């Protein structure tokens, strides 16, 4: 419940700086909800695959070294 407030702010902040909304997912899953866990993992991977490789927040070690 406390986390819900923090996640709401974090999500808005990341979208505000331009991280694609589809890369950020939140779910409540109980340890007894195996089926929901499986469905969520599939949905998240699908959504991220559709967006393609990440464009931001990538550190190129050859550039900075």
Query: Does 53 engage in binding with another protein (CB under 8 A)?
Result: no
Cα three-residue angle 59-61-65, rounded to 5 degrees:
130
Minimum CB separation of residue 33 from another protein in Å reads: 12
Query: How many chain residues are in contact with another protein, going by CB under 8 A?
Result: 34
Residue whose token pair is 């007894």 = 32
Query: Does 59 engage in binding with another protein (CB under 8 A)?
Result: yes
In Å, how far are 24, 28, 33, 35 from 38, measured between CA atoms? 17, 13, 9, 5
Query: Does 62 engage in binding with another protein (CB under 8 A)?
Result: no
Query: Does 35 engage in binding with another protein (CB under 8 A)?
Result: no
């Amino acid at each position: 419940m406390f986390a819900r407030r923090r996640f709401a702010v974090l999500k808005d902040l990341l979208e505000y700086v331009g991280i694609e909304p589809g890369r950020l997912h939140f779910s409540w899953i109980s340890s007894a909800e195996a089926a929901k866990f499986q469905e969520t993992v599939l949905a998240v991977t699908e959504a991220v695959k559709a967006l393609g490789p990440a464009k931001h927040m990538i550190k190129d070690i050859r550039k900075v070294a």
